[in-house]
Chains A and B, each alone.
Chain A
Amino acid sequence: MNEMQNNAMRPPVRPSRTNAVVRQASDWVVTGLAVLSTFLVVAPLVAILTYLIYRGASSLNWAFFTQVPAPVGESGGGMANSIVGSAVILGLASSMGIPVGIAAGVYLAEYARGKVLGQAVRFTADVLNGVPSIVMGIAIYALIVMQQKHFSAFSGGVALAIMMVPTVTRTTEEMLMTVPNAVREAGYGLGVPKWRTIMSISLRTASPGIITGCMLAFARVAGETAPLMFTAFGNQFWSARLDQPMAALPLQIFVYAISPFDEWHRLAWAGALVLIVLIMVSVTLVRVAASRGIMKGNQ
């Protein structure tokens, strides 16, 4: 072979009869392994979902959704306070995290394009995204819980809000970048001030993708337990106060699962099923939106 052929293009083996058989056999073996891997990956998912339904569905009765946990040793009761608590905390988190995330994304796409500050913000958002959720819990504990001297739904909301920000920021920025500059110029040309152009034209054009990004961020924090362990802390009873500990579904599942009581285990399965359904629905919606080209900015 002459030197002009680069290494990657050289045939991998010298042609010969036995070689041909070995090569073909290797090909089949590897194909089989690949198929097997896929199967082994899909199997746990199917297994987990099946078990959740199997163990949890039977406990999903009216009481489950409306009652608080029964005292230890008694049967019945539900996880109503956890479900409501999660809703409250997630609502808090979204109301703080989504506006900040969208605003930061707007800044990156509309004010800081190409500037060093923009790159620094983007990099920092990536760093924030990689913080282990338990560490987030420690930090918020020190920042808020220790100052207030009590656990609170509010601190839990803050912890989850911070975790939502990087995802929302990145999606907002990406979606705004797909808005053609010609559309912005049309707005400026009409004498529309920049802020109004951003709100009524750029954001509106990018809104399907931005909403999808928010749903993604929401689905991600909906299942988070670790950040809530030292902030919202959990609560066995009904509580609607933001400055008191509050129950949350993932947290409660954890507490029940590691407890020694069968009754609580049953509730844990049911709670996990509810949580999974909520998250799966969000993820599926995001996938549908992505396949419709919304994430690419197609209209």
Chain B
Amino acid sequence: MTEPTNVRIPHITVSQPSVNIAAEALEVPTGPSPVRDFLNRRSSGRVVDGIFGSAMFLAAISIFAIVVLIIFTLIHGSQLSIHAFGWKFFVKEIWDPVNGDFGAWTFIYGTVVSSLLALAMAVPLAIGVAVFLTEMCPKPLRTPISFLTELLAAIPSVVYGLWALFILVPIMRDRVGPFLTKTLGWTGFFGGDNFGIGMLTASVILAIMILPIISSITRDVMLAVPQNQREGMLALGATRWEMIRTGVLRNARIGIVGAVILGLGRALGETMAVTMVIGNRPQIVKSLFAPGYTLASVVANEFTEATDDTYVSALVEIGLALFLVTIVVNAIARMLVWAVTRGTPSRAH
């Protein structure tokens, strides 16, 4: 180690800066500064900080509290029914308020059938719209059309139900119904009386209602596929559809499954519109024209009129089941979607 030499470092000159503002000397107040006095007298805000932080914390905790309360209330309210009917409750087909005998199977059937039918109708359309908007749509049309799908999502359930009751039902009864009986009557699903009110109509309106959410999430998922996938396919000479199918949809398929499951979750819990057009009759019949009943509908319809405690308890148990199923379904859906869109910015839903 050599001693540091007495080096005059040429490139650094220790000199005074040119004082451009020499003309304006600093204005400094002489005497006691009112500002400093004021600030020195102010409290440090520690107490308020503590209260404020606690208040924010409480608000966040209240979300836990609410969910816990809801679950607890539902479980507590179902006790009577659980004790009376046990697990068989979910496979029993009897719903007899008069004699106090209850079973939820009819409603489970109705919910599942209407939801699956709705999915079958909505998913192809939703994916079609998503494909159109992300890959084919001319730029100027993109915003208006996507805005329209957002508006569709904003329509309240009761308005859908109103429209379905007075406009869709006659169409299903007078046009679609007879057409289906003629062409597909041999399957046995389209026979019997058709008054327009029943499982099929409910499925149709349900399909219209879940379409926006499936389409919107599918779009997000497709947009999350990196551009180089598309370009790679095109560079190999693929047609546009082939590029979409292999370059985009294949990569996005996990997310699309998530979108579909999210739509399913929405359909399972949908109440008002379905109640208005499904007929609200606790029965399981092969014909899709026949009235049916769903889990959400029976609660909406009969809760305020339930007279004895077991009746109410059975309905609460149905609510509990609905709650748990939707939580699980939504959680699965969100995980799938998150896995694909992780890291990409989301549009405001």
Contact = CB atoms under 8 A, between A and B. Distances in A.
Which 5 residue pairs of A and B lie closest in terms of their CB atoms, listed nearest first? A223-B156, A37-B128, A132-B269, A193-B45, A103-B59
A269 interface: yes
Contacts of A135: 70, 74, 269, 319-320, 322-323
Nearest to A26: B241
A55 B166 CA distance: 11
A207 B289 CA distance: 51
A130 B324 CA distance: 10
Contacts of A130: 265, 326-327, 330
B74 A254 contact: no
A214 interface: no
B272 A226 contact: yes
Contacts of A283: 150-151, 154
A175 to B, nearest CB: 11
Interface string B38-82: 010000111011001101111111111011011001101100000
Contact of A134 (B48, B137, B158, B269): B269
A154 interface: no
A194 B152 contact: no
A34 B323 contact: no
Given A42-B148, A138-B74, A195-B52, A226 B300 contact: yes
Contacts of A48: 155, 159-160, 163
A52 B161 CA distance: 12
A157 to B, nearest CB: 14
A37 B125 contact: yes
Given A103-B60, A107-B56, A139 B74 contact: yes
Contacts, number: 281
B181 interface: no
A12 to B, nearest CB: 5
Interface of A: 8-13, 15, 23-24, 26-27, 30-31, 33-38, 40-42, 44-45, 47-48, 51-52, 55, 99-101, 103-104, 106-108, 110-112, 117, 120-121, 124-128, 130-139, 141-143, 162, 165-166, 169, 191, 193-196, 198, 212, 216, 219-220, 222-226, 229-230, 233, 250, 253-254, 257-258, 265, 268-269, 272, 275-276, 279-280, 283, 286-287, 290-291, 295
B165 A258 contact: yes
A97 to B, nearest CB: 11
18 contacts: A12-B242, A33-B128, A38-B129, A41-B149, A45-B148, A52-B163, A99-B59, A121-B60, A132-B322, A139-B74, A142-B77, A222-B156, A223-B155, A224-B157, A225-B272, A233-B304, A257-B276, A272-B158
Contact of B49 (A34, A41, A194, A286): A194
B223 to A, nearest CB: 16
B56 A106 contact: yes
Contacts of A27: 239-242
A42 B73 CA distance: 41
B12 interface: no
Contacts of B250: 8
A41 B158 contact: no
Contact of B39 (A12, A121, A191): A191
B287 interface: no
Interface string B174-198: 0000000000000000000000000
A269 B162 contact: yes
B330 A128 contact: no
A6 to B, nearest CB: 10
B269 A133 contact: yes
B271 A133 contact: yes
Dominant secondary structure at the B interface: helix
Nearest to B76: A142
Interface of B: 39, 44-46, 48-49, 52-53, 55-64, 66-67, 69-70, 73-74, 76-77, 124-129, 131-133, 136-137, 143, 145, 147-152, 154-163, 165-167, 208, 211, 215, 229, 232-233, 236-242, 244-247, 250-251, 265, 268-272, 276, 296, 299-300, 303-304, 315-316, 319-320, 322-323, 326-327, 330-331, 334, 347-348
A275 B59 contact: no
Given A42-B149, A254-B272, 19 more contacts: A8-B229, A10-B236, A11-B237, A27-B241, A34-B131, A100-B59, A100-B62, A104-B62, A117-B60, A127-B330, A128-B67, A132-B270, A193-B49, A194-B45, A224-B156, A226-B300, A254-B161, A254-B276, A287-B150
B304 A229 contact: yes
Contact of A138 (B64, B163, B240, B299): B299
B160 to A, nearest CB: 7
A119 to B, nearest CB: 12
Given A107-B57, A133-B269, A195 B45 contact: yes
A24 B129 CA distance: 21
Given A31-B240, A130-B326, A8 B247 contact: yes
A193 B47 CA distance: 10
A141 B313 CA distance: 13
Contacts of B163: 47-48, 51-52
Given A128-B66, A132-B296, A8 B132 contact: no
Contact of B125 (A40, A195, A275): A40
A297 to B, nearest CB: 11
Contact of B57 (A45, A111, A220, A272): A111
